[in-house]
Amino acid sequence: MRAGQPEIDFEALFAAAARVQSLAYAPYSNFKVGAAILADDGAVYPGCNVENAAYPSGSCAEQGAISAMVAGGGRRIAAILVLGDGEALVTPCGACRQRIREFASPETPVAVAGPDGVRQMFSLAELLPASFGPDNLRR
């Protein structure tokens, strides 16, 4: 953990993601996903997927959590946990990996969880190698 970063409590992130996963709006896929972000100020921001009959108009759980973080005044992701059901790992989609990158560094931990807890840990760089981010645009 870097200096100035909050202690990462993955159990608290799991509990927050599980709480909102049950609230997800997924009438088409019946695949509910919850996510929880630990911001660098120590606050936890959850999000869930929200589907739409016009499929591209829906939003992912990670997107909801990022929006909640920004609306709550957070600007940096210290850690994120994504929770989905089933046997396969439910990792962030490509678009969400890029969304996470906007607010996180390559070494930011990304926990992938199933109903029984964290299944695997990644760094953002492992999920999105050689990423394009805000630093690419700074002069």
Return the HEC string of 38-76.
EECCCCEEEEECECCCCHHHCECHHHHHHHHHHHCCCCC
CATH of domain 10-128: 3.40.140.10
Find out whether 55 is annotated in a ligand binding site.
Answer: yes
pLDDT tens per residue across span 119-132: 999 999 999 999 99
- Answer with the residue of higher pLDDT: 3 or 105: 105
The domain limits of the chain are 10-128
Give the dihedral of Cα atoms 5, 10, 11, 12; nearest 10 deg: 50
**Binding site annotation covers 50?**
yes
User: Which sequence positions are flagged as catalytic?
Assistant: 62
- Is pLDDT of 4 > 90? no
Would the annotation count 54 as a binding residue? yes
pLDDT digits (tens, 9 = 90+) for 68-102: 999 999 999 999 999 999 899 999 999 999 999 99
